[in-house]
Amino acid sequence: MNKESRRFTGLSLGRLNVWEGLGLLVLILYPLRHVDWGLDLWDTGYNYANFRYFGTEHMDPMWFFSTYLANATGSLLMKLPGAGTLIGMNFYTGLFVSVLAVTGYLFCTRKLGMPKVLAFAGELTAISLCWCPTALLYNYLTYVLFLFSSILLYMGLTGERKACLAAAGALLGTNVLVRFSNLPEAGMILAVWAYDFILWRQERRAGKALGADDKERPEALWKTAEDSEGSRREVGRSAAGRLARPVRHTLWCLAGYLGALAALMGLIHVLYGMGDYVSGIQRLFAMTDKAVDYKPAAMIMGMVGSYVENLYWVVRIGVILAGGMLVCGIFDWLGGRWAGKTGRSFLAIIGRGFCILTGVGMVGWLYYRKFCSLQFASYDSMLRPGILFLMLTLLIAAARIFSFRARAQEKLISGMVILIILLTSLGSNNGIYPSLNNLFLAAPYTFWQSWRFLRHRGNGRLFLYRAHGGGRPLCRREKGGSRPLCRPENGDSRQKPETGGILLSYFPAKALLASFLAMCLFQFAGFGAGFVFAEATGVRNACAYVEGNGVLKNVRMSPEKAQWVGELDSFAEENGLKGQEVILYGSVPALSYYLQMPSAFNPWSDLDSYGYQVMEEELEKLTKEIREENIAKPVVILENMYALYGDGGLSALEAAGASEKILLKIEGDAKWSILWNFMEELGYERTFRNEKFAVYQ
């Protein structure tokens, strides 16, 4: 095995040097850059509340069981030093991104043989595109296990390692308990079947050469079949023997998958009982009646729709590319008829200069047409470039899979990149966004393959000729060859190319690709530096603090939020409300964590996935306990718009300047109606109100 093959298969790990060590340190620290930045009233505090008050007493059983391992992991993190603050928990959860980046880098450089600079740039890009708060461990723990399972699957297939295949299956099975919607990740088994099919094709070609004389048989045939220890022994086997390999690989993966699921289900049964688990999962399937964006068809269409929408830009970039190739081809054609080396060189320089200007002009045109924004605190700065980056990755990976020159290992990793991009978005109602959040293997791969294309010194010239038989075969002029080579059509070996034609070059494609990647790097770096999630948008004007709240100590936020939360926190502290149970309504679930007030039944009760009937049953149960068992009434904290509606109806909302969308939402909210009836029935009175919140006791 030559040096290149050893490097590709990862048999030579090498040693860290100073620069690489510094690069790994950057990959560890860069995900922690925003741990003290921004206050999110939605997902961040909601998930930390679930970690803080872990269990079915204060959590909705549906989300408790469907994201069990994520919540259990978060609960363990809460016990670490410094985890009692928002900054401390952001630090600990941010390390999951560090693990993703470092692991992705080491795999790409040690196992795949990528240049270290490209792998480093790819991991920085992946970190920059992590728009999702790290508090959502059901996402980041999913990505960690998915990445490790992909690495183990690659090592198991290329090295015929049974333990790696079983471990890969076990991690995918474990991921189902991290987030139940990770079930589609079992589709990674396609990589097993595809890889074994590729090996079978290569072995079949190698087997045909066995009858030839050893001196005439190219050694390269063996290089394509030496991906595993027993590849040579497989050559020439019967069809049944060849079928045994994918079956064997599948069974090892399946054994790990089912074994992990069985062990974890046994743990659930011992701790909580299978009845509660099954009931929670059944509710998960039933919630789509209200939360229609969780329906499988809606998830798929949300992902596909993003790609289809961005075909608008793909078509126009394709037209620019075609124009550049045509002009470059004309310059080459003129150069071929210009007597003298100086004239040809002059035209070549002009042609290439034109292509470079075309690439720069394309980027300028994209900015002019508002393809992306320079407001890096918003998704607009990265969304369209990110989707086109995903499409480019899928295109490159598909091209490498069907390339005759790519080896089996490269085809395998290309297929796995495609599967990771597609499977990551399944099971989520966020469309294409999850795939953008999980590029720790795909981003380095794209830079690697793009660099290989950009540095390729072949002229890539293709001639289009009209053959005598009336067809239009594609003819290629070999480097240094005297005439074009054509593939005969219909078995007619007498076909010959006509003289003349249009010459095409790879250089326009290289110029446009380099320009697009440069724009992506700029946009993604800006997004990574300027975006922090807060209520589905970006944090802005983070220059104020909440004084006196231990959880929010040293957290920077906007002056408006600092005032809202600071006033509410002071009221809760002065009136001894902290530690009491609370009912939150109006997209303010994070208050449970920030005020250290456990939820009476679900911190985010106004979420569509929390059904009307379930909330009605919880309120009826709570009413009965208050009346018959004389337990304390939970505090109710509302978003102020709901409080205004409760006091004065639609007219009060209109006077406050509420939009028509808010009016329709609150007026048609059935869960809000039963909560207001519950409050009136038990005699709740408003004891606090500011611009954002209202408290009832």
Q: Which residue in the block uniquely carries the two structure tokens 């399972």?
A: 149
Does 520 reside within a domain? no
Q: Indicate the residue among 504, 522, 537 that finishes a domain.
A: 504
Residue 124 and residue 248 share a domain: yes
Q: Tell me how far apart the alpha carbons of residues 268 and 256 are, in angstroms, rounded to a whole number.
A: 18
Residue 624 and residue 484 share a domain: no
Residue 173 and residue 83 share a domain: yes
Does 488 reside within a domain? yes
Mean pLDDT of all residues in 252-257: 96
Q: Quick: pLDDT tens for 107-142.
A: 999 999 999 999 999 999 999 999 999 999 999 999
How much of the chain, in percent, has pLDDT values that exceed 90? 66
Q: Indicate the residue among 285, 310, 335 that finishes a domain.
A: 310
Residue 287 and residue 177 share a domain: yes
Q: Which residue in the block uniquely carries the two structure tokens 């929390």?
A: 610
Q: Tell me how far apart the alpha carbons of residues 466 and 499 are, in angstroms, rounded to a whole number.
A: 9
Residue 610 and residue 485 share a domain: no
Model confidence, pTM: 0.88
Q: Is 32 helix (H, G, I), strand (E, B) or coil?
A: helix
The tokens describing 458, both together, are 């072949």
- Count the domains in the chain: 3
Does 37 reside within a domain? no
Q: Tell me how far apart the alpha carbons of residues 646 and 640 are, in angstroms, rounded to a whole number.
A: 10
Contacts of 459 (CB under 8 A, 6+ apart): 479, 505, 506
Q: Tell me how far apart the alpha carbons of residues 673 and 660 are, in angstroms, rounded to a whole number.
A: 19
Lowest-confidence segment of 220-234, 386-400, 626-640 by average pLDDT: 220-234
Does 89 reside within a domain? yes
Distances in whole angstroms, Cα of residue 485 to Cα of each of 465, 475, 502: 11, 6, 16
**Torsion from C-alpha of 85, 88, 89, 92, nearest 10 degrees:** -170
Residue 238 and residue 149 share a domain: yes
Does 14 reside within a domain? yes
Q: Is 495 helix (H, G, I), strand (E, B) or coil?
A: coil
Q: Quick: pLDDT tens for 311-358.
A: 999 999 999 999 988 888 787 777 666 656 666 677 778 888 888 999
Report residue 488's pLDDT band, with 50, 70 and 90 as the boundaries.
Answer: very low
- For residue 153, is pLDDT > 80? yes
Q: Tell me how far apart the alpha carbons of residues 433 and 655 are, in angstroms, rounded to a whole number.
A: 37
Does 52 reside within a domain? no
Tell which residue, 317, 10, 258, 314, has the closest CA to residue 154: 10
Does 584 reside within a domain? yes
Residue 257 and residue 121 share a domain: yes
Tell which residue, 446, 451, 487, 483, has the closest CA to residue 469: 487
3-state helix, strand, coil in the chain (%, to 5): 65, 5, 30
Does 148 reside within a domain? yes
Q: Which residues on adjacent β-strands are paired with residue 637? A: 584, 695
Q: Tell me how far apart the alpha carbons of residues 325 and 355 are, in angstroms, rounded to a whole number.
A: 8
Residue 464 belongs to what H/E stretch? strand 462-464
Residue 484 and residue 572 share a domain: no
* Pairing outcome for strands 462-464 and 474-475: antiparallel
Q: Indicate the residue among 295, 310, 325 that finishes a domain.
A: 310
Q: Tell me how far apart the alpha carbons of residues 180 and 472 are, in angstroms, rounded to a whole number.
A: 53
Q: Quick: pLDDT tens for 400-438.
A: 999 988 999 999 999 999 999 999 998 788 889 999 999
Residue 624 and residue 478 share a domain: no
Query: What's the domain range around 261?
Result: 3-32+67-310
Contact 616, 626 (CB under 8 A): no
Residue 279 and residue 150 share a domain: yes
Identity of residue 297: A
Residue 572 and residue 475 share a domain: no
Residue 132 and residue 20 share a domain: yes
